[in-house]
Amino acid sequence: MEKTLTIGLTLFLTLCVDIPGAGGQKEGAHGENTQKRSSRSSDTKGGRCSYTFIVPQQKLTGALCLNTQSASTNQSEVAALRAELRRQQEQLEKLRGQLEQEGSLATEVRALRKESSSMNSRIAQLYAQLLHEVIHKKDQALEQQRVENLLLNATTQALQVSSNYRELEKKYGALTSMMSSQNQFIARLEKQCQCRDSTQASLVTTEPPKSQPNVHPNYSSEANEMTNDVQRDQSALPPQQGKTIPSLPTTPANTTDPPFSSFPVTKTPGPWRDCQHVLESGETTSGIYLLRPQSANRLLQAWCEQSQAQGGWTVIQRRQDGSVNFFRTWEQYKQGFGNLDGEYWLGLEHLYWLTKQAQYKLRVALEDWQGRQVFAEYDSFHLEPESDWYRLRLGQYHGNAGDSLSWHNNKAFTTLDRDKDGYTGNCAHFQKGGWWYHMCAHSNLNGVWYRGGHYRSRYQDGVYWAEFHGGSYSLKRVSMMIKPT
């Protein structure tokens, strides 16, 4: 097939032919009318010849034929080359497998190194934490040793104080015995004087001095059964046959403020169940009356308040001038103490028997140092027996003083020598009184009477009602009264 080939540029055609032996020869067909320049180069290493034909720019007509005579190949060399190629391929595959295996191992080693580094950091952190805890425990051991030493010192001091307290109790018992003997001696002297002049004594009874506090003269043969330790009770003497005996004039307490009200003499004989019974009997005058609760083989005296809140109130506690110390023992709070015409506590045992005979309500009257008077009433009030530590039972509150006693509801009574509160220490020790303490108090009406209201103390131990001026304000006057509902 003929073709016309036009070449516009100089064409470099390089043909490489493997020719065994000395070399090869390149012939070109139709080379009779064509100018040729050839350059030959030989490669002695491989026995190869290459011919470079430089064809000038010209027009070619017809077919361009190239004749190359293929050299015969050496089969043994080709087989050896193929075998070597396969061996190298096998080695290459083997190396590739080893490389992949080593790569996976290297990856695992890197992961292990990373994990080891994190573990080292974690171990260092744990070691630092352990060291810190060791140091902290060492400090705690030193602090514990110091606290133990302080506790030992405090225990020693407490034992010393307890020993001193027992000595004071012995001295107090001796003084009480001496005072009792003196009272008996005075009673004998009075008896002798009354025998000499009974007419004059009768006049003193009917017209007592107004400047002295008076006591109800309704003494009967049952007066010896009275068990409370209220000071006015100690002056009560049994009457002689058909004769009225005047009461001993008692020395007024060193009060700093006037009492709540005057102290008139009551003339109606008793005893009564309570002050409501006194009011129903026609006695409308506030004063000291002789009471005997039902089902109780005991007599007691109490102040009956007939002028406040329709009257009939039996006063069970009163604070007004700080003349009586309320930091007392369990037995004293049980039997009662103080002055019936001043500050006094009626006694837990008497309260138990009083509130057992009917359903009573409680009224707490409070007065601050600016003259403001408020009250808190509870529609039911009674105490459990001593076997249950005179536990407080309260009803619903109403009033204008705020409710600071319901927090103490269902709590046992606590004194310095009987710790029945829910606090780890003794609330009576910190509050300086006896009360139905919880943890510790929202009210402390048996605390320390401080003058002026706001007080400074290491503890909140004043006469306070938390809802009325707070715990750091000691009230001026306080009274607790009960009455049948």
Residues of the chain with pLDDT > 70, as a percent, come to: 69
Q: Is the peptide bond before 440 cis (omega within 30 degrees of 0)?
A: yes
Q: What does 89-128 look like in DSSP terms, one character per residue?
A: HHHHHHHHHHHHHHHHHHHHHHHHHHHHHHHHHHHHHHHH
Show the tokens assigned to 117.
Answer: 């580094």
Q: What is the pLDDT of residue 410?
A: 95
Q: What is the pTM of this model?
A: 0.50
Beta-strand relationship, 464-465 and 360-367:
unpaired
Which residue's entry shows tokens 């295996």? Answer: 101
Show the tokens assigned to 484.
Answer: 């049948």
Q: What is the mean pLDDT of residues 313-334?
A: 96
Q: pLDDT tens across 114-164, in order?
A: 988 889 989 999 999 899 889 988 888 888 888 888 888 888 888 888 888
pLDDT band for position 55 (50/70/90)? low
At 334, which helix (H) or strand (E)? helix 330-335
**Other Cβ atoms within 10 Å of 338 Cβ, number:** 26
Residue 152 DSSP SS3: helix
Cβ-contact 306, 325 below 8 angstroms: no
Which of the pair, 475 or 9, is modelled with greater confidence?
A: 475
Cα pseudo-dihedral 84, 87, 92, 94, rounded to 10: -170
Show the tokens assigned to 295.
Answer: 């089902």
Which of the pair, 453 or 243, is modelled with greater confidence?
A: 453
Q: Is the pLDDT of residue 243 over 60?
A: no
Q: pLDDT tens across 328-364, in order?
A: 999 999 999 999 999 999 999 999 999 999 999 999 9
Q: What is the mean pLDDT of residues 434-445?
A: 95
Cα 171 to Cα 175, 180, 326, distances in angstroms: 6, 14, 19
Structure letter (DSSP) for residue 338: E
Residue type at 340 in one-letter notation = L
Residues whose CB is less than 8 angstroms from the CB of residue 64 and which lie 6 or more positions away in sequence, other chains included: 5, 29, 30
Q: What is the pLDDT of residue 164?
A: 86
Cβ-contact 475, 463 below 8 angstroms: yes
Pick from 426, 445, 425, 450: nearest CA to 435: 445
Q: What is the pLDDT of residue 394?
A: 96
Q: pLDDT tens across 395-437, in order?
A: 999 999 999 999 999 999 999 999 999 899 999 999 999 999 9
CA distance 375 to 465: 11
Q: Is the pLDDT of residue 291 over 90?
A: yes
Q: What is the mean pLDDT of residues 216-221?
A: 37
Q: What is the pLDDT of residue 298?
A: 84
Cβ-contact 238, 356 below 8 angstroms: no
Which residue's entry shows tokens 């006694």? Answer: 347
Q: What is the mean pLDDT of residues 33-59?
A: 50
pLDDT band for position 327 (50/70/90)? very high
